[in-house]
Structure 1
Amino acid sequence: MNIIGRLTKDAEVRTLSNEKQVVNFSVATNESYKNKQGDRIEQTTYFDCAYWISAKVATLLTKGKLVELTGRVRTRAWIGKDGEAHSGLNFHTSQIKLHGSGRKTETVQATAQGTTDDLPF
C-alpha cells in the first residue's frame, strides 16, 4: 500500500531492549471530495508509522515534510485509562520517498536480500 502525506512532528528513534532501533513518526493524509449536495468535504487520516531498517533516516523526517510511504497498514483498538474506546492506524513502512526537498526525490527502500539506502547515510 502507498500513502502520501505530511509528517505531523519530527521523527523519534526508540532503542528496544534487544538494541534494535525503530524510527517512529506520524503522517497525516488529506482527501477531499464533493458530497451529494455539492459541498467540498475535507478528510484527514492520521497514521502512526514505524520504520525498522535504518535509524539514520530520522534526521530527514521533520515536521511538515511531504513523504510517500510504501508498506502495510494495520488497525488497532484499545481502552484508554479514561475507560474510553480508542482506535488508530499503524503503518509498517518498508520504503520512504521524500518530496519537496529541492533536489531529486530521495528514496529509502528495503529489499528481500537486505537493505538498500539511496540516501547519503
Structure 2
Amino acid sequence: MAGTLNKVMLIGNLGKDPEIRRFENGGMLVKFPLATTENFTDRDGNRKESTEWHTVVVRAPRLAEVCERFLHKGDKVFIEGRIRSRQWTDEHNQTRYNIEIAADAMTMLGPNQQGHTREEDQQGRPGRVRDEDHRKGRDHANGKFRSAPDSPSFAAAEDDFEGEEQI
C-alpha cells in the first residue's frame, strides 16, 4: 500500500454553542461537541438509540469565522476532517489523552432559526440544490414544491444486469 488515509465524515447536532478562543496573533480556534446518533433494534426486537459524542476543533480561519457566526446548539452539520489525538498532563500530574476531529470542511444542514435553509438567502431563494430538496420535490426554478417522481422498481433495476454472467 502506497499511503495512509485519515478521513472522517460526520453528520450530527451541536451539543452546545461553539466555544471561541482568540489568540494574540489574530488566530482563532473554535471547538464544539457534536452528537451522532445510531438507531438500531436489539436482539429482543426493542428499538434502541446510541449517541456518540465527538469533539470538533476548527482552526482554519475562514471556517472558524463561519462557525462563530452561524452555529448554535442543536444545529445539524456535516463535518469533514481528520482524527487527531492529543496528550497532556493534568493538574494531578496524570497523562491524559483526547481524541478530536480536526475539521477541514463543514456544511450546515437543516433550517436555521428563521426557518430558511442555510443555503437560502434572505428572500428564501435557494443557493444550491441538495438531495434533501429533490426528495421533498422542491422545484428550484420557481421555489415551489412538485410531486416527486416514482422510484424505479427493484425488478426494473435487475433488468440492467440481463445477459451478464452471474457468479
Show the counterpart of 2:54. Answer: 47
Percent identity at matched positions? Answer: 28
- Kept in 2: contact 1:32–1:43 (CA 8 A): yes
Gaps of 5+ in 1: 107-121
* Cα RMSD for the two superposed structures: 2.8
Query: Is 1:103 equivalent to 2:117 in the alignment?
Result: yes
Show the counterpart of 2:42. Answer: 35
- Kept in 2: contact 1:47–1:88 (CA 8 A): no
Query: CA deviation digits over 1:74-116, x for unaligned, max 9?
Result: 456778668999765411101110011323548xxxxxxxxxx
Pick the aligned partner of 1:4 from 2, 7, 11. Answer: 11
Equivalent positions of 1:41-120 (< 5 A) are 41-53=48-60, 54=62, 55-57=64-66, 58-75=68-85, 89-101=99-111, 102-103=116-117, 105=119
Aligned partner of 2:83: which letter?
Answer: V
Mark the structure with the bigger radius of gyration.
2
Q: How many Å separate the matches in 2 of 1:75 and 1:37? A: 37
Aligned partner of 1:96: which letter?
Answer: M
The runs of at least 4 aligned residues of structure 1 exceeding 6 Å deviation read 77-80, 82-87
How many residue pairs end up in the alignment?
A: 107
User: Higher strand share goes to which structure?
Assistant: 1
Q: What SS is found at the alignment partner of 1:67? A: strand
TM-score, normalization by structure 2: 0.53
Show the counterpart of 1:116. Answer: none
- Which structure carries more relative contact order (alpha carbon 8 Å, separation 6+)? 1
Report the Cα offset of residue 13 of structure 1: 1.8
Q: How many Å separate the matches in 1 of 2:33 and 2:76? A: 12
User: Higher helix share goes to which structure?
Assistant: 2
